[in-house]
Structure formats: C-alpha cells, structure tokens
C-alpha cells in the first residue's frame, strides 16, 4: 500500500507513521549512528518508517511534502536498509518527523526548519524546529555563562586577538560546524591566528567562536544524553594521541563513565528549558567542570551509551515521544 494511504491514529501504543529527514541512511555506520538506532527501535515498536533527504522537502500550494521511501532496517552492515520505490508524501499525514540531518547549520538547514514549522498542530517534529533554529549547539550555551568556559563569538580579527591575549591558550572553531571539523587550538606562542581568520573568512561570512582552552580535555570530553530534559547517562570521548579534538568522527575513543555531581548540576539547570522547548533528544558536551555545547540538531552517542550501560536509550526516547501524542 502506498505510504500516504494509511490514515494515522494518534494513540500511544498504536501504529504510527514516522519520517526521518536525514542524510543518506544507506551509508550510516549501524553500530554508531543514532538515527539508525532510533529507526530500529521504532520498527520494533510496530511503527512504519519513511526516509527522505533534506533536499526532497518542499512547500507545494499549502502542503509540506517530501519525496522519499518507505523503509525497514536490520542490523546487517551493508544490507541494513530495504527501501520501497520513491513516492511523494504529505508530511501532515505523519505522526512524527525526526529532524536528523547533520550540520552545517546554514540557510539550507534553516529553511527546512521554517517549512517543518508549518506542520505544528498536525505532526510532532523532533526536535522542535523552531527552537532548533534558535538554539544551535554553540549558541544555546550563551544562556548559561556561569556554566561555560570564557567564550567569545566574533567576526572581527582584532576583537578575537584581544580575547586570545586575555587567555593565551584558546580553541578557535566555526560557529556552525560539527564533528570536530575546523577546530584549532592556538596556544600562547601560536602565530597562526591571522592566517586562520583569513582562511575561515574566505569560506564563509559567519562569525567564529573562541573559548579558553581547557586542559581537562586530555582526560576526555564527556557527552551527556538528556531525554525530555532528564539525563539518562554519559560516555567519555578521549582524544587520540596528539589530538585536541575528542569527537568520535575524528578518532576520539569512547569510554564508559558515570554522571558526576557537576554533570547533574548542569543538567538540572538546562533540563527544564530543553523540555519546555520540545528538545526531546539532546547531547551536551562537558569538559571538566564546564559545559561547552548543547547539541540539539543531530546529537549522537546513544549506541555507545547503550553498550556501556546496558540500557535501552532509544526506548526511553520513544516513550517520551509517544507520551506527547
């Protein structure tokens, strides 16, 4: 049966139609990708799945539509997804849409949040696109300056130089980047700031973010997962030898770790806001005693956490979503 012919029922425990707006699912690592794990758990709960890429999202005479594929998943790398023929669907007929494409957080990304906003009252979009648009990962932390390391967001080179002179050892990175790409440590003796600024500005007009370097990163950058504002666990991401970046995408090693009193204090501060703004699945980054990012666009880490702690985080996420319908 074509996907669009199913009439949705908005009752917890019954069949739901779930769409994933994400990067190509055919190429994901099934042992690490959080979107795959969410799809796998949804399928186990009896829900129907639909995939489309962000460039297939469209506004068409009052309707928000997308071209994509009904699909099923299995935990066999290389043969992990089976797709039905392409079809166009009306996204207002779905129960849940996952906004799961990776940054960069550019106008293409932002436009998709404006379009998905128009489904409010018809379809639950996770995470809420209005607040994803207003709370990209490196900006929401600005609401909690007492929890974060000294931070500057600026475009002007002289302004950034002043900040570096103040703290000596800093991290410089693109404001809307992800996965550790374009992250540089500039210590007190470094002479590359001007050249790096030229390089960044030649590629984009966006400001840069500069933070005081935290030596505690050598012991790991903790990823804490929150579900509907509540912490459910954490993994530690340890940088590879000679690296400052701990992101798993660039060679960081995941380790089992518990939640510290400081982690719980941070979560208690930010959790109510995340819940209020419809941010169901969030990953925050904590280095030592400091909050560095709040990831709401496409957080990762649930598969590693499930393996370390023996808990079903994907189930907790779906329980939170089903409770909202």
Rounded mean pLDDT, 218-245:
90
- The pLDDT, as a whole number, for residue 10 is 45
Do 57 and 24 share a structural domain? Answer: yes
pLDDT grade, residue 4 (50/70/90)?
very low
Residue ending a domain, choose from 161, 179, 213: 213
The answer to the question of residue 22 being in a domain is yes
Q: What is the CATH number of the domain that holds 288?
A: 3.30.470.20
Using CA of residue 212, residue 305, residue 109, residue 178, what is the dihedral sign? positive
- The pLDDT, as a whole number, for residue 241 is 74
The answer to the question of residue 253 being in a domain is yes
Query: Any bridge partners for residue 97, and if so which?
Result: 19, 125
Do 106 and 15 share a structural domain? Answer: yes
Do 49 and 128 share a structural domain? Answer: yes
27-55: string of b/e by CB count within 10 Å (b at 16+)? ebebebbbbbbbbbbbbebebbbbbbbbe
Do 228 and 110 share a structural domain? Answer: no
Q: Using CB atoms within 10 Å of the CB of residue 300, give its burial: 0 to 12 exposed, 13 to 18 middle, 19+ buried.
A: buried
- Alpha-carbon gap, residue 195 to 235, rounded angstroms: 35
Rounded mean pLDDT, 53-74:
98
Do 77 and 36 share a structural domain? Answer: yes
- Alpha-carbon gap, residue 317 to 201, rounded angstroms: 39
Q: What is the CATH number of the domain that holds 56?
A: 3.40.50.20
The answer to the question of residue 322 being in a domain is no
User: CB neighbours of 144 closer than 8 A, spacing ≥ 6?
Assistant: 269, 270, 291
pLDDT grade, residue 181 (50/70/90)?
confident
How are strands ordered across the β-sheet holding 253-257?
A: 253-257, 230-238, 221-227, 281-287, 290-295
The answer to the question of residue 321 being in a domain is no
Least confident of 114-118, 199-203, 271-275, 315-319: 199-203
Could you identify the residue written with the tokens 């935990």? 75
User: CB neighbours of 300 closer than 8 A, spacing ≥ 6?
Assistant: 32, 33, 34, 223, 248, 283
The answer to the question of residue 325 being in a domain is no
Rounded mean pLDDT, 275-279:
97
The answer to the question of residue 58 being in a domain is yes
The answer to the question of residue 59 being in a domain is yes
CB 30 within 8 A of CB 75: yes
Residue 205 has pLDDT above 60, yes or no: yes
Selected residue with higher pLDDT from 242 and 263: 263
CA-only gyration radius of the chain, Å: 20
pLDDT grade, residue 245 (50/70/90)?
low
Could you identify the residue written with the tokens 């991290």? 171
Residue 247 DSSP SS3: coil
Least confident of 15-19, 136-140, 171-175, 319-323: 136-140
Can you give the residue range of the structural domain that contains 164? 150-213
- The pLDDT, as a whole number, for residue 178 is 72
Do 43 and 99 share a structural domain? Answer: yes
* Distance (Å) of CA 1 to CA 4, 27, 67, 85: 8, 27, 16, 11
Mean pLDDT of the chain: 92
Do 129 and 154 share a structural domain? Answer: no
Residue 240 has pLDDT above 90, yes or no: no
The answer to the question of residue 293 being in a domain is yes
Selected residue with higher pLDDT from 237 and 177: 237
Residue 35 has pLDDT above 50, yes or no: yes
179 token code pair:
């996965």
Residue 17 DSSP SS3: strand
Active site residues: 138, 173, 223, 237, 245, 285, 293, 295
pLDDT grade, residue 191 (50/70/90)?
very high
Using CA of residue 107, residue 111, residue 114, residue 117, what is the dihedral sign? negative
Query: Using omega within 30 degrees of 0 as the cis cutoff, is the peptide bond preceding 127 cis?
Result: yes
Phi-psi region of 125 (alpha: psi -120 to 50; beta: other; left: phi over 0): beta
Q: Where are the alpha helices (DSSP H) in 185-301?
A: 193-203, 261-276
pLDDT grade, residue 129 (50/70/90)?
very high
* Distance (Å) of CA 2 to CA 8, 50, 65, 89: 13, 11, 15, 9
Residue 159 has pLDDT above 80, yes or no: yes
CB 208 within 8 A of CB 269: no
């Amino acid at each position: 049966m074509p996907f669009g012919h199913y009439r949705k029922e908005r009752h917890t425990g019954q069949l739901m139609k779930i769409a994933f707006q994400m990067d190509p699912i055919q190429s994901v690592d099934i042992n690490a990708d959080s979107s795959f794990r969410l799809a796998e758990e949804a399928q186990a709960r009896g829900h129907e799945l639909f995939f489309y890429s962000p460039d297939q999202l469209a506004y068409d005479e009052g309707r928000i539509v997308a071209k994509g594929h009904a699909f099923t998943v299995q935990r066999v790398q290389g043969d992990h997804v089976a797709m039905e023929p392409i079809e166009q669907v009306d996204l207002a007929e779905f129960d849940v849409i996952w906004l799961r494409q990776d940054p960069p957080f550019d106008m293409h990304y932002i436009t998709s949040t404006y379009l998905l906003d128009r489904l409010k009252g018809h379809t639950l979009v996770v995470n809420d696109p209005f607040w994803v648009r207003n709370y990209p990962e490196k900006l929401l932390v600005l609401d909690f300056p007492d929890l974060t390391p000294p931070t500057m967001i600026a475009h002007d080179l002289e302004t950034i130089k002043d900040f570096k002179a103040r703290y000596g050892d800093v991290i410089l990175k693109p404001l809307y980047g992800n996965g550790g790409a374009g992250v540089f440590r500039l210590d007190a003796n470094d002479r590359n700031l001007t050249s790096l600024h030229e390089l960044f500005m030649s590629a984009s007009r966006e400001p840069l973010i500069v933070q005081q370097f935290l030596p505690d990163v050598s012991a790991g950058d903790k990823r804490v997962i929150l579900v509907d504002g509540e912490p459910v666990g954490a993994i530690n991401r340890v940088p590879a030898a000679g690296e400052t970046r701990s992101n798993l995408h660039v060679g960081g090693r995941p380790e089992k770790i518990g939640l510290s009193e400081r982690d719980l204090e941070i979560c208690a501060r930010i959790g109510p806001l995340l819940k209020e703004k419809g941010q169901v699945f969030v990953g925050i980054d904590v280095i030592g005693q400091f909050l560095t990012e709040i990831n709401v666009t496409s957080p990762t880490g649930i598969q590693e956490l499930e393996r370390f702690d023996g808990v079903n985080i994907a189930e907790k996420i779906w329980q939170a979503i089903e409770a909202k319908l």
